[in-house]
Amino acid sequence: MDVAPLSASRVGSWDDEADVVVVGLGCAGASAVLGACEAGAEVIGLERSSAGGGTSAQSGGVIYLGGGTPVQRACGFEDSAEDMRRFLVAACGPDADEAKIALYSEGSVDHFHWLADQGVRWHDTFYAEPVYEVLTDDGLMFSGGEEAWPFCEIARPAPRGHYPRTEGRSGVLLMKVLLEAVDRSPARVRTDTVAERLVVADDGRVVGLVARRFGDEVRVRARGGVILAGGGFVANDRMLTQHAPWLVDDACYKVGTDTDDGRAIRMAQALGAAVRHMDAAEVSNPAPPNVLMPSLLVNSQGQRFINEDVYHGRSGQVALFRQDKQVYLVLDEEIHEANPSWLKITWAAETLEELESDMGLPAGSLRATVELYNRHAEAGEDPLFHKNRRWLKPLRPPFGAVDLRKGLFGVFTLGGLHTGVDGAVLDLDGEAIPGLYAAGRTASGIPAWGYVSGISLGEGTFFGRAAGAAAAGTALGA
Amino acid sequence: MDVAPLSASRVGSWDDEADVVVVGLGCAGASAVLGACEAGAEVIGLERSSAGGGTSAQSGGVIYLGGGTPVQRACGFEDSAEDMRRFLVAACGPDADEAKIALYSEGSVDHFHWLADQGVRWHDTFYAEPVYEVLTDDGLMFSGGEEAWPFCEIARPAPRGHYPRTEGRSGVLLMKVLLEAVDRSPARVRTDTVAERLVVADDGRVVGLVARRFGDEVRVRARGGVILAGGGFVANDRMLTQHAPWLVDDACYKVGTDTDDGRAIRMAQALGAAVRHMDAAEVSNPAPPNVLMPSLLVNSQGQRFINEDVYHGRSGQVALFRQDKQVYLVLDEEIHEANPSWLKITWAAETLEELESDMGLPAGSLRATVELYNRHAEAGEDPLFHKNRRWLKPLRPPFGAVDLRKGLFGVFTLGGLHTGVDGAVLDLDGEAIPGLYAAGRTASGIPAWGYVSGISLGEGTFFGRAAGAAAAGTALGA
């Protein structure tokens, strides 16, 4: 097994050593480096690519923060840690990590300031329209469907998606800022270096790792701990098939880099680390939110199956995991013209009978759905799925529909190593494995099944910092 | 970690030894003992309870066999290994284990005779009505929804559920027969002995295990291999929460014994074994099949979501995993009177408006569903879900509905250790761990996500035998 742990007794000599060794320099690893340095530790950061950034740098850059950040307040939104907590528990469940969510919600404003201290900046402006990602330089948006049922009844909605200001994609900017902070820190960075196996002492403590750099083996000792922040496993088809076969599909595109191959997860599993929720994944609905919300999302029986104004990653998950991706968007000309987008209409028809026939849906099925929707929408209600009144409008001819079955659903994995709130990797009994930590998508974090945009960068940086501090504390005897 | 493997170098002396050591004496373990004995190995069987039987003895006893067994032929059914194979790949997917299915389908008639050689007997009679379990002494029934869409179009349907003849429950009888065969074999059985940790040599080979018997540690050497057949993990709430949180619910009852605590799975994971499909589970629909099939199964939007004549474990899975168990059965007086059962009507009404109101469903939702169903049923078709014509009949007043939300869904886990066709446990790279085998629900077997009644006892006995033979072969240098 190429990830089998190596016994420390077989390591003749170390090539390098530090208090804390961090694997991967995406947002979680960079923050772990910074957190460990702040705690006074000597740190080595390993990155298998030629530069840090990872999947974080490819992302939209949105960071989920709340509880009353300066940007939220400047934009006129009230928020509390308790509302944020209640929302995340509901939106990221079942089995969302409540201990992590509580810490994250309580510490969110502080984390905002920490990110600002590293050099991240936001405009104090709110973007109100539903979109995947803010493409203007506005700083704040709703990024998790907080206003949609049932979440609007569980917690007071507040926008918590914070977009670092930039003219390009915010993910690139965020990682530029964090990696510049790493450069300013005393940490030593080794690029082109892939961690391969953990080194374990006789008492079970992780004391280092074996890496490879351009074919050469490099043995790196970690006096305090190794922090695994090597991404998820969306690029590993065998692991996907074993845990989440629904994701192995031509209609899914993998959000991530080739290095999201699950190696960091497997290195820890090989010594008895527990994994959680390996079947879970974020799944973006291919329909643009501004068109999706006023339209009807229907399945191959012509039935609606969710309130269309819910977070687009939630309707995407439900479409993939519960409807086998056999879904369509049904709208009318008025919606189409009022909501410009790249979306192309697949079928257009004057009557619902004609439309459902063209779509290959069972006779009468779509008509029954639209008639019921219209009847309720005229009364300003949606008793089936509780879509917000803002989006309720009876559909009128001419009608149109979009075939989403071959639309590209963007997916990445949410499952990973079971960790404590300090990032400690837990074994199959729930006990911490001494000297081993994980953060980012290598770990099973706040999202168990559900997801919200911005939580990966948010918890990656937050719990990356925490893991860095914890590993440093071990090394320094804190 | 209480399942951490023990290094062989730390085992001073062994208390017992054999070629093959089998953990657990349910159907898979008993068959592993027999398979290893047939191959000429010296065998020890460990059982943590005071007698073998396990969950197999609590089961209905149905064994999934086909391809033209003597019982199938005597009852007038044609079947082929190829039809059986095609059906199982479709019904047990996605990611059903095609290599295991091919072997199992090809070897099914032979396995029938092997079971007969052990003393299992069946009546050559077919039970035609849809039920959970045959309570008569008939020997054959449809147990996997082979006649239902889409499976009827994928493979020629044949009944493959074989019920050992008995006046009581067949599971008890099956285990009585298999354990008597074990008693007749030269194998030594140690009851009240719980396997705790595997013992591993320096080269990674599993060479034995540490068990506990009434507080005393017992070290058992396995010259050829250890076979883990200790059941699934439905009795372990932590594992359920980590992998399948939907099953942690008061409306689920756990099918299994307290010893289905996942310990055997964890013992192997602790040394780097891979697991598969840990989120998957069999979920029995609480509605009796004879009433379910002609009725409508609807969700909390009053929508149908599956053809009601599909295997009751499939509609149960979909109700649990895809509809959050918010499901109801809608029928009429004629169905109720024609299909005697224990099922109590929760609501009765003269009109659909009244019924949907009493049920708390959205106004017009159930009426739209029933009107569409009736319109199609009158034409003898169900274009939404393709229920067989046999069950299609328009619903007429007076109507009734059954609240299944609090009905008990019987669940057990399907995920487990990744094994090869010879039962070898595979590591995280897909390579066999030398000296380690698994069978029964400890392994991820033929069912990945889907399930059919009888496959647990079928593949448990079939691949248990295979693992016994393989471990014996290793010991004997075959």
Residue in chain A nearest B360 by alpha carbon: A383
> Tokens standing for B371?
């009107």
When pLDDT is cut at 50, 70 and 90, the band that residue B132 belongs to is: confident
Residues of B in contact with A3 (CB under 8 A): 272, 428-429
Separation CA A477–CA B20 (nearest Å): 48
Where is the domain boundary, B358, B391, B407? B407
Q: Is residue B379 part of a domain?
A: yes
**CB pair distance less than 8 Å for A279 and B279:** yes
Q: What is the pLDDT of residue A381?
A: 97
pTM here is: 0.96
pLDDT surpasses 90 at B136:
no
**CB pair distance less than 8 Å for B276 and A243:** yes
Selecting from A369, A384, A418 the residue whose C-beta is nearest the C-beta of B242 gives: A418
Closest approach of A248 to chain B, Cα-based (Å): 10
Closest approach of B95 to chain A, Cα-based (Å): 6
**CB pair distance less than 8 Å for B428 and A1:** yes
**CB pair distance less than 8 Å for B3 and A449:** no
The length of chain B, given as a count of residues: 478
A–B interface: beta-carbon pairs under 8 A: 128
Residues of A in contact with B2 (CB under 8 A): 429
Separation CA A287–CA A120 (nearest Å): 31
pLDDT surpasses 80 at B285:
yes
Co-location of A165 and A225 in the same domain: yes
Co-location of B291 and B402 in the same domain: yes
Residues of B in contact with A449 (CB under 8 A): 245
Residues of A in contact with B420 (CB under 8 A): none
pLDDT surpasses 90 at B37:
yes
Where is the domain boundary, A372, A407, A442? A407
Co-location of A129 and A171 in the same domain: yes
Determine the average pLDDT of the residues in A382-387: 98
Co-location of A320 and A453 in the same domain: no
Selecting from B363, B375, B431 the residue whose C-beta is nearest the C-beta of A383 gives: B363
- pLDDT, tens digit, 9 for 90 and up, residues B74-130: 999 999 999 999 999 999 999 999 999 999 999 999 999 999 999 999 999 999 988
Q: What is the pLDDT of residue B133?
A: 78
Q: What is the pLDDT of residue B478?
A: 61
Q: Is residue B80 part of a domain?
A: no
When pLDDT is cut at 50, 70 and 90, the band that residue B170 belongs to is: confident
Mutate to test the interface with A, among B197, B239, B300, B372 (most CBs of A within 10 A): B372
Separation CA A370–CA A329 (nearest Å): 12
Determine the average pLDDT of the residues in A144-151: 97
Q: What is the pLDDT of residue A167?
A: 62
Q: Is residue B380 part of a domain?
A: yes
When pLDDT is cut at 50, 70 and 90, the band that residue A361 belongs to is: very high
Residues 6+ apart with CB under 8 A from A261: A231, A233, A235, A236
Co-location of A122 and A256 in the same domain: yes
**CB pair distance less than 8 Å for B279 and A362:** no
Co-location of A377 and A417 in the same domain: no
Q: Is residue B456 part of a domain?
A: yes
- pLDDT, tens digit, 9 for 90 and up, residues A173-212: 999 999 999 999 999 999 999 999 999 999 999 999 999 9
Determine the average pLDDT of the residues in A94-103: 96
Co-location of B291 and B403 in the same domain: yes
Q: What is the pLDDT of residue B406?
A: 84
Q: Is residue B72 part of a domain?
A: no
User: What is the DSSP code (8-state) at residue A270?
Assistant: T
What whole-number percentage of chain A has pLDDT above 70?
Answer: 99
Mutate to test the interface with A, among B242, B271, B419 (most CBs of A within 10 A): B242
Co-location of B304 and B397 in the same domain: yes
Q: Is residue B149 part of a domain?
A: no
Residues of B in contact with A414 (CB under 8 A): none
Which CATH number is B468's domain given? 3.50.50.60
Co-location of A293 and A267 in the same domain: no
Residues of B in contact with A418 (CB under 8 A): 242
The residue among B67, B176, B144 whose CA lies nearest residue B111 is B67
Residue A390, SS3 per DSSP: helix
Q: Dihedral of CA B241/B244/B246/B247: which sign?
A: negative
- pLDDT, tens digit, 9 for 90 and up, residues B290-325: 999 999 999 999 999 999 999 999 999 999 999 999
Which CATH number is A317's domain given? 3.90.700.10
Separation CA A106–CA B113 (nearest Å): 65
Where is the domain boundary, A348, A383, A407? A407
The residue among A147, A73, A158, A138 whose CA lies nearest residue A112 is A73
- Contact between residue B444 and residue B95 where contact means Cβ atoms under 8 Å apart: no
Co-location of B27 and B176 in the same domain: yes
Selecting from B94, B238, B369 the residue whose C-beta is nearest the C-beta of A245 gives: B94
Separation CA B449–CA B452 (nearest Å): 11
Co-location of A92 and A209 in the same domain: yes
User: What is the DSSP code (8-state) at residue B419?
Assistant: B
Separation CA A76–CA A128 (nearest Å): 13
What DSSP string runs through B256-312? S-TT-SSHHHHHHHTTTB-EE-TT-EEE--SS-HHHHTTSEEEETTS-B-S-TTS-H
Mutate to test the interface with B, among A1, A198, A276 (most CBs of B within 10 A): A1
- Contact between residue A42 and residue A18 where contact means Cβ atoms under 8 Å apart: yes
- pLDDT, tens digit, 9 for 90 and up, residues B173-185: 999 999 999 999 9
Q: What is the pLDDT of residue A408?
A: 87
**CB pair distance less than 8 Å for B270 and A428:** yes
When pLDDT is cut at 50, 70 and 90, the band that residue A250 belongs to is: confident
Selecting from B1, B363, B369 the residue whose C-beta is nearest the C-beta of A428 gives: B1
**CB pair distance less than 8 Å for A304 and B304:** no
- Contact between residue B404 and residue B286 where contact means Cβ atoms under 8 Å apart: yes
Q: Is residue B261 part of a domain?
A: yes
- Contact between residue B313 and residue B283 where contact means Cβ atoms under 8 Å apart: yes
Phi/psi at A444 (5° precision): -85, 110
Radius of gyration in angstroms for the set of CA atoms belonging to chain A, rounded to a whole number: 23
- pLDDT, tens digit, 9 for 90 and up, residues A268-300: 999 999 999 999 999 999 999 999 999 999 999
Residues of B in contact with A4 (CB under 8 A): 204, 272, 427
Q: What value does the mean pLDDT of chain A take?
A: 96
When pLDDT is cut at 50, 70 and 90, the band that residue B254 belongs to is: very high
- pLDDT, tens digit, 9 for 90 and up, residues B211-226: 999 999 999 999 999 9
When pLDDT is cut at 50, 70 and 90, the band that residue A443 belongs to is: very high
Domain count, chain A: 2
Tell me which residue range forms the domain holding A39.
1-280+413-478
Co-location of B331 and B388 in the same domain: yes
Radius of gyration in angstroms for the set of CA atoms belonging to chain B, rounded to a whole number: 23
E strands, B161-205, in order: 161-162, 188-190, 193-200
- pLDDT, tens digit, 9 for 90 and up, residues A293-348: 999 999 999 999 999 999 999 999 999 999 999 999 999 999 999 998 989 999 99
**CB pair distance less than 8 Å for B242 and A277:** yes
**CB pair distance less than 8 Å for A95 and B242:** yes
Side chain identity at residue B415, one-letter code:
G
**CB pair distance less than 8 Å for B362 and A368:** no
Residues of B in contact with A272 (CB under 8 A): 1, 3-4, 269-271
Q: Is residue B455 part of a domain?
A: yes
